[in-house]
Structure 1
Amino acid sequence: MAYGRPQEVDTVIVGNGPSALILSYILHGHIPWYDSTTPHPDHLLHDKLASRSDHDLLNVDIDALTDHFTASRFSYSTQALPINVLLDTLIRPLGETEDAQKTTCVKWVHDPSRTVPHLIFGNNAFAGGQWEDGPVDASWDIGTLSYAGMISLPGYAFDQHYVRRNACPMPTYLRPSRSAVADYLASYPDQVGISDSFRNGEVVSQITRLGEMFHIGSHKIVCKHLILASGVFSEMIAPPPILQSLAQFSATKVSPDQDSSYPILVIGSGFSAADVIISSHACQKIIHVFKWAPSTSPSPLRACHQQAYPEYAGVYRRMKVAALSHFPRSDKRPKPRHTHSEFDQCRDWASTYEGIPNAQIIQVEPSADGRSAMVSFQIGSEPSFQRQVSSLAYVVGRRGTLKYLSPSLLREVLPCAKASTSSGLDVSKTTTVSAHSLREKANEDLEMAPSIFITGSLTGDSLIRFAFGGCTYAAGKIMSRHVHARERHQLTSMACPSNGSPIVSPVNGIPPCLKERATSRPQTPSPRIPAMSGLDGHESSPLSLLADKCNPLDRRKEKFDFM
């Protein structure tokens, strides 16, 4: 093992998805400015922005700029965070219209002096986060929910990438395939010149707070700011124990002359379940178990328009017909359709699809050859019934994980982690997060704890178009602090005479001539930052803890801290 000082960087971003890409682009010195020469169609918003002496969008009064949104004649999202809505409407003032790609109120100005050193760590081999990963066994050729213009990142838009790959203009209202989006995001760092900050295919762990800094135990890195951009889609929700034996079966590949094979069992009500159904062979039989509660918990597929999303609308229509056949209502009959999409005609739905709403699985009996299982279902108080299935696609949702944070840091970020600790529960069981886990805190501030920010889907807004707001907010705070730290460094450099040795420590940035003064005072921790305990049980300053870690002679402490 090599001993020495840990590497120091200002900011570490955990996750290499779209929000990490946007944030890295900004931290490389690309500053978003409001372009008053292209006024926003909301005249009140334009007047507020144009009256500012500085058109820099990294440090703006969110409340003042968005307080009229709810009463505006413009259609602003009431579901996304105000900062995310603000940046989205400035970048795409015309929304999803045909000219949305060409019209923007934001110009990106490169200012190298505002660059902040940072590193991005992602589990995936290429940048892209969940887009590069494929946890669901579904076709990569299915069109995304967002149009290409909604997926574009600054400096290298999706239409530029399309022309580069296909040598022809991009079609209007294109819903690119998942593989196309993954290719675009993987290419983005090189195309905009930010690849130097990416460390793809590396898993970080053991992140702890070290006074006013953070220590990345897995990589022996210390940083001043920590960005959580790992998302809420990295972990599939595991099937319950009763389905574990069925989950081990591999899916049966069906050829056109094998239409008598056992069905696959698909469990789920959302897009992932629909993707599995859409991706299956036309001759593959499907048993679809889904939750049906349109008045209290409707499927997200219900919002899919027939013309814009024919495949998702088609799956939802089959779910509705199946639900009404099990729970008939005189006032809710399926309306006869006079037109059918290409998706409707891609298979014989009557013979290959069976929808079972609100069913409970009460028993699973694997066959002797281990290639199928007999599954017993029950709906309410009705008699149970059985179906033989060949495999399982359990797609009821995904979650993210913050397991890379230490228990103490997790308690700072996650409210439920603090509650679990006080009640004696295992903190490790609270590392899983959904889109709702941090939403309440995000409504107050995207800085979850001192110098810890969240971006992307961890904020509760999962669309790429809504990632810009959180990234500009975090970048604005980090850049301001970086500038102030640099100014303090310059002042202390002038105040401390040089004797030929380095003026500033490469690890903690404290001049040696001030080090004695800084460490001689009683160390009073910030009320929001917990004091750190040394190896002897006494409280230690960040300076002394860093010094301990950097001492190549004290191998006992090195081993203890970095295990």
Structure 2
Amino acid sequence: MTVAIIGAGPAGLALAHILNGNIPHYDPDLFGPHPDPQLHELLINCPNLLCAATESKILEYVKLNVQSFFSSDCSPVSLLFDTLRIPCETNIQNQSTMESRVSWKASPENKVPYTLIGGKDGAGGQWSNMDSDSEDSRVLSYAEMLSLPGWAFSHFYRERYNCAVPDFLRPTRKVVAEYYKLYADKMGIPVTNKLVGNITKSPNGFAVLTTAGDLICEATDVVLASGISCAQTDSMQTKKLAPSGSVVVVGSGVSAADAVICAKPDKVLHIYKWTSPQGEPTPLRRYPKKLYPEYAAIFEEMKSRTGPTYTGIPNGQIIKIDENKVLIQKQDGDVLEAQAKEVIIRTGRAGSLAYAQDVLPKKTELVGKMSLRDLGYPLPKIADNVWAIGSLTGDSLVRYILGMSCAVAWNLMD
């Protein structure tokens, strides 16, 4: 067996670490049993967490009894590993209260050969690509929620800055990208930096080809881990118009809020919707002032439609961009003409699966707000010997990626 992992972001790196023969186990001796006694009893009888990741009785219990503040639609296997790593997310006082019940054991006999293909960005995936986000903007997750197995973010931080991670640190994208880049080296995970153009079926399983048609590798199994930020779409773009004027931001989520924050103290015109086309309210409503003061402040400005340098335009739309002028139709039909230096559109990321069309059971070129799970694919196996992990499956935060990676690893090692 050989495995081709397409994408070297956190999900691909975590899977590679497991395939190197590192097996997670439920370990109540670390900090005592999990606070949920029923979950503890279930896991005591199935301590190998690769096995637990596919155990229907455990996953059904998690589905009915475990919830997360950060996501309302996580898969049970993602929630299982999340609650084992952060058992009491509503009562996190500092780093010491994030008491993981997961220990890792080396198991060389379970190694599975793989090729991890990182595209042009290499280790870190979208975290290494700063095209559409400021590298100095702070990420949504707190530091330890970004950790990968074997070498936690706290270990990287101490080596890099010679001090412990401050409580409730939300690091910058630049620092997180550096961590994932170094993680691959630290854990002995080789990354092939080639851009995948196509995957075709071959006598040995699959052939993974570059955009020029050259062979990267052959594999018996393919794991899609390319994420939802690699496609260039109209929903994530920045247009520079003039040296001066307002900054027009379009979007209702965290990326749009980050753009508003980065644009200040310039005057900002913010176009947003209270609900998505799928009927989901803006995610900014979820973030409490104590934990996310900057997002709570933007949400308050959205509600009041005004701030020191902020003007909110709910349910508006851009109808024309002409040199440095932007015409915006407001909800009541009136048209606002604004002098603008920049238009920043942040209405949703998307990932391209154009390279995988020959191995997918149905045509699916873009994956974004509608994940593979939303599109009706069974997970993590989406076709014979074809698997999917990471944000393609709806696990949009790093803290959730381990579960699906473990489920895939169990099937590959079985």
TM over 0.5: yes
1:289 counterpart residue number: 271
Q: Which has the higher strand share?
A: 2
113, 117, 123: which one pairs with 1:117?
113
- Residues 399 and 434, structure 1, Cα contact 8 Å, conserved in 2: yes
Partner residue in 2 for 1:249:
240
Deviation at 1:281, TM superposition (A): 4.5
Structure 1 residue 33 displacement after superposition: 1.4
CA distance, structure 2, for counterparts of residue 133 and residue 152 of structure 1? 19
- Do the aligned partners of residues 68 and 383 (structure 1) sit closer, same or farther apart at CA in structure 2, a change above 3 Å counting? closer
Listed as ranges, the gaps of 5+ residues in structure 2 are none
Amino acid at match of 2:317: Q
Q: Which residue of 1 aligns with 2:57?
A: 64
Aligned equivalent of 1:141: 136
Cα shift readout 1:277-314 (whole Å, capped 9, x = no counterpart): 211252x2222211234994422111121121111111
- Partner of 2:333, secondary structure, is coil
- Give the structure 2 partner of residue 271 of structure 1: 254
Shift of 1:190: 1.5
Contact 1:234–1:399, Cα closer than 8 Å, also in 2: yes
Secondary structure (helix, strand or coil) at the match of 1:59 reads helix
The unaligned stretches of length 5 or more in structure 1 are 1-8, 253-260, 326-348, 367-371, 418-429, 481-563
Asked if the contact 2:85–2:98 (Cα under 8 Å) also holds between the matched residues in 1, the reply is no
Give the direction of change, closer, same or farther, for the CA distance of 1:115–1:191 in structure 2 (3 Å limit): same
Deviation at 1:403, TM superposition (A): 1.5
Q: Deviations over 1:509-562 (max 9, x none)?
A: xxxxxxxxxxxxxxxxxxxxxxxxxxxxxxxxxxxxxxxxxxxxxxxxxxxxxx
**Aligned pair in 2 of structure 1 residues 150, 435: CA closer, same or farther (>3 Å)?**
same
Contact 2:95 2:167 in 1 (8 A): no
Q: Structure 1 residue 129: deviation in Å?
A: 1.2
CA distance in 1 between partners of 2:26 and 2:336 (Å): 62
Partner secondary structure for residue 274 of structure 1: helix
Shift of 1:103: 2.0
Q: Which moved more, 1:352-361 or 1:262-271?
A: 352-361
Measured against aligned partners, the alpha-carbon deviations of 1:453-480 in whole angstroms (never above 9, x if no partner) come to 1000111121111101111011111112
Distance 2:74 2:291 in 1: 22
Q: 1:355 to 1:44 in 2, by over 3 A?
A: same
What is residue 464 of structure 1 aligned with on the other side?
Answer: 398
Give the partner amino acid of 1:85. Answer: L
Partner of 1:150: 145
Counterpart in the other structure of 2:209: 217
The verdict on how the C-alpha distance between 1:435 and 1:281 changes in structure 2, with shifts beyond 3 A counting, is closer
Residue equivalent to 2:301: 318
Q: Secondary structure at the match of 2:226?
A: coil
Q: Report the CA distance shift for 1:264/1:71 in structure 2 as closer, same or farther (over 3 A).
A: closer
Say whether the 8 Å CA contact 1:249–1:392 is kept in structure 2. yes
> Aligned to 1:404, what secondary structure does the other structure show?
helix
Matches for 1:359-370 after TM superposition, within 5 Å: 359-366=316-323
Give the equivalent residue in structure 2 for 1:45: 39
Cα drift, residue 142 of structure 1: 2.5
Contact kept in structure 2, 1:62 and 1:82, CA below 8 Å? no
Distance in 1, Cα, partners of 2:224 & 2:336: 47
Using structure 1 for the length normalisation, give the TM-score. 0.67
Question: Equivalent residue for 1:431?
Answer: 365
Equivalent residue, structure 1, for 2:165: 170
| Contact kept in structure 1, 2:225 and 2:392, CA below 8 Å | yes
Q: Give 3-state SS (helix, strand or coil) of 2:220's partner.
A: strand
Identity of aligned residues (%): 35
Larger Rg: 1
Match of 1:182 in 2: 177
Question: Number of paired residues?
Answer: 402
Does residue 403 of the first structure (1) align with residue 360 of the second (2)?
Answer: no
Give, in whole Å, the separation in 1 of the partners of 2:98 and 2:342: 47
Distance 1:436 1:24 in 2: 26
Question: Does the CA-based 8 Å contact 2:247-2:268 persist in structure 1?
Answer: yes
Relative to structure 1, the CA distance from residue 443 to residue 223 in structure 2 (aligned partners, 3 Å threshold; closer, same or farther) is: closer
Choose from 338, 352, 355 the match for 1:387.
338
Post-superposition shift, 1:445?
3.0
Distance 1:75 1:125, change over 3 A: closer
The one-letter amino acid of 1:16's match is: A
**More helix by percentage:** 1
